[in-house]
Structure 1
Amino acid sequence: MSEVLSQMNEHRSVRVFKPDPVADALIEEILEGARKAPTSHHLQPYSVIRVKGPAKRRRLAELAGGQQYVAPASVFLIDYYKHHMLANRYETPLHLQEIDNLLVGALDTGIIAENALLAAQSKGLGRK
């Protein structure tokens, strides 16, 4: 079995993180791999927001419905802004193309998130 398939088969969801800082260079390497994710319409409809400060992560945990694993993580990556902007832009009923773009954006964001996860795990992050 290939190294990548082994890594994929060993995946487990992790909700407890070490407080150790993650080097900026490592995060950039992970994000570079994540950006290689395929997209449906060549839109790259995502934006990655890096939440570093503990106070901001605590507030984010509250806003995310009390997700306790968010606050103690040394760094947290989120994507929300572009979807938030799209949702606010279309306060009237959406046309079919607009719905398609919103769905494509959500799916493409999931694909880049999976690439980021695999890249981080390949570097030993997210393992107990």
Structure 2
Amino acid sequence: MNPTIELLNSHRSIRKYKSQPLPPGALESFIKAGQAASSSNHVQACSVIRVQDPSKRAQLAHLAGDQAYIEQAAEFLVFCADMKRNTEAAASTGIEPTLGMTEQLIVATVDVALFAQNVAIAAESEALGIVYIGGIRNNPSAISELLNLPEQVYPVFGMCIGYPDHQPEVKPRLPLEAVLMQDSYQEHEQAEQVAYYDQQMSEYYQARTGGNKTSNWSQSMAPMFGGKLRPHMRDFLIAQGFTMK
């Protein structure tokens, strides 16, 4: 198999890390790889906060849902959607920038995701492990204050990077037939594919936990869609200048 595709297919979320630091210059090379990602209209609307202060790490771990590996990982990064730099650059040309457009929010968020995934792949290519921390959005106002984020900037997620101290199995993904469709959306095939995948995930959880977890993919979706997930995000984004016009 192509080694790049093999690396991509081997991704696991790593939540236990050795105390070993990254080699000098490694993080910078990963960030440069992130900068090489595609960017809509070349806006490059991503800024990355590298958090090394132990006190801030501890606060972030708590604010993100008491995730201890934020403190343990060799590196912890907060990836921010950043339209401040762009609007100020545009204003320097003499125009009056239009702020708060929904498309600006989408572009900035997509840019961050593409940037971060390049960073993740670069790190994994050097035998490091990563885990994304969506819990950063649990308390975005407090985290923005802690990191001194101005208007037109918001924290999208965090990322731990370090040498793995465990080797979890690769988690099965949805069947290819469920996500790759020909010419139009294949709605009638989804139920069958999800049922097949639920069985796979049930077996995976049973094997991973020694029979202590009885669940499947559909059941794992219930918390996300069975209630209002992070309802504070809309008001927070508006307060940060992303008014979604």
Normalised TM-score (structure 1): 0.82
Q: Is the Cα contact below 8 Å between 2:52 and 2:76 reproduced in 1?
A: yes
Cα shift at 1:23: 2.9
Higher gyration radius (CA):
2
Q: Is the Cα contact below 8 Å between 1:16 and 1:69 reproduced in 2?
A: yes
1:70-85 superposed matches below 5 A: 70-80=70-80, 82=82
For 1:110, give the aligned amino acid: A
Gaps of 5+ in 1: 86-94
Using the alignment, how far apart are the partners of 1:24 and 1:62 within structure 2? 29
Using the alignment, how far apart are the partners of 2:24 and 2:103 within structure 1? 35
Cα shift at 1:81: 6.5
The residue that corresponds to 2:64 in the other structure is 64
User: Does 2:117 match 1:111?
Assistant: no
Using the alignment, how far apart are the partners of 1:106 and 1:24 within structure 2? 29
Using the alignment, how far apart are the partners of 1:66 and 1:122 within structure 2? 28
Paired residues in the alignment total 118
For 1:115, give the aligned amino acid: N
Q: Is the Cα contact below 8 Å between 2:81 and 2:109 reproduced in 1?
A: no
Structure number with higher relative contact order (C-alpha < 8 Å, ≥ 6 residues apart)? 1
Gaps of 5+ in 2: 85-97, 130-163, 167-245
For 1:10, give the aligned amino acid: S
The residue that corresponds to 1:40 in the other structure is 40
The residue that corresponds to 1:91 in the other structure is none
User: Does 2:125 match 1:122?
Assistant: yes
User: Does 2:108 match 1:102?
Assistant: no
Cα shift at 1:69: 1.9
The residue that corresponds to 2:140 in the other structure is none
**1:13-62 CA deviation, whole Å, 9 max, x = no partner?**
11112221113401111111111000122111110111112222111111
The residue that corresponds to 1:92 in the other structure is none
User: Percent identity between the aligned chains?
Assistant: 35
Q: Is the Cα contact below 8 Å between 1:54 and 1:72 reproduced in 2?
A: no
Q: Is the deviation greater in 66-75 or in 7-16?
A: 66-75
Q: Aligned pair in 2 of structure 1 residues 22, 53: CA closer, same or farther (>3 Å)?
A: farther
Normalised TM-score (structure 2): 0.44
Using the alignment, how far apart are the partners of 2:5 and 2:118 within structure 1? 13
User: Does 2:24 match 1:6?
Assistant: no
